[in-house]
Structure 1
């Protein structure tokens, strides 16, 4: 790659940046951290890790450092949620053996349109005494515009479980689970409702 020469405009901009900056002084923390008087073991293949730990003040051990703090995938989050309903019924639900008493399809809806439609559907189903309904969100479109911020795949698929965990639906929803393949798989959710009182 060939280096480009600075233009007069670039030099002028750089001079203005330099004029507005101040020299940073080393903090006492940095001086202590990189104190040359600290005796280190002789560097070698076996002592390299130990030397690094002394310099950085980290414990020596087999750990590989902190794991990335990424949000878990939505299906992992739902799978790890505690089971609130009867275990036997939950097993049947996961195997697709329970038949949903109602179904709503949110395909093609915006978030603004889908939220009130879902809320009305779930609240009406509960008022009618239904126990299991199916909410179809679709898997979502893959549309990454190549920007610096990643775009979530399947906005409704990620948002619906959150909506079901907040009021007013939280008071009537007992369990949310990913639907069996026969009912839509990763693009649908079973919503098990509390008994109507």
Structure 2
């Protein structure tokens, strides 16, 4: 019996497994191709040293910036003169004298005595807002004398005049002064608010 041949798989040249190409192989191939090409008229030749050309820089995508508008005050803010106990630029002399003597009609009061600084600041801002919106003119702010053993004065007694003279309260406050003894003396302030 004749010997039968088993068919063998025929492999074409293109079917052979190629080894993985590296970037260096690609660059060499590109250089060969580039040497055989004529550039278009009026165009510059690409640089001869391809390794010297830096890759384009990686740029992080720009994230959209959320723009916020600054808070608007209820009144326009101008360069307002500084307020202190003895400097009250928004008052005439007669009204300032009546305030110092305690001859004012108190239409509202708040007692900050015993509060923490943060709580007192919030309470004062809220109180002045409400009083101004209600059309009140003279209010009493009680800070407490806060005298300490070392002779220094209390935090609220120091801070409340600063809060009255700074934004947003300064836009509503005309003047302030220490209260008379019957209303708390140096532990309280008469505050005159602007007309609405």
Residue 179 of structure 2 is aligned to residue 194 of structure 1: no
Cα deviation, residue 82, structure 1: 3.6
Q: In the alignment, is residue 123 of structure 1 matched against residue 159 of structure 2? A: no
Which 4+ residue blocks in structure 1 deviate beyond 4 angstroms?
none
Cα RMSD for the two superposed structures: 1.7
Distance 2:189 2:144 in 1: 10
Whether 1:142 and 2:148 are equivalent positions in the alignment is yes
Residue of structure 2 equivalent to 1:161: 161
**Is residue 128 of structure 2 the alignment partner of residue 101 of structure 1?**
no
Q: Greater helix share, 1 or 2? A: 1
Which whole-Å CA distance do the structure 1 matches of 2:147 and 2:99 have between them? 27
Aligned residues: 114
Which residue number corresponds to residue 3 of structure 1? none
The answer to whether 1:114 aligns with 2:136 is: no
Which consecutive unaligned segments of at least 5 residues does structure 1 have? Answer: 1-76, 145-150
Deviation at 1:182, TM superposition (A): 1.3
Q: Extract unaligned runs of 5+ from structure 2.
A: 1-82
* Cross-structure match for 1:171: 171
Structure number with larger C-alpha Rg: 2
**Cα deviation per residue 1:126-151 (whole Å; 9 max; x = unaligned)?**
0000000000000004144xxxxxx8
Matches within 5 A, 1:44-83: 78-83=84-89
Q: Structure 1 length as normaliser, TM-score?
A: 0.54
Aligned to 1:18: none
Structure-2 change in CA distance of 1:124 and 1:96 (3 Å): same
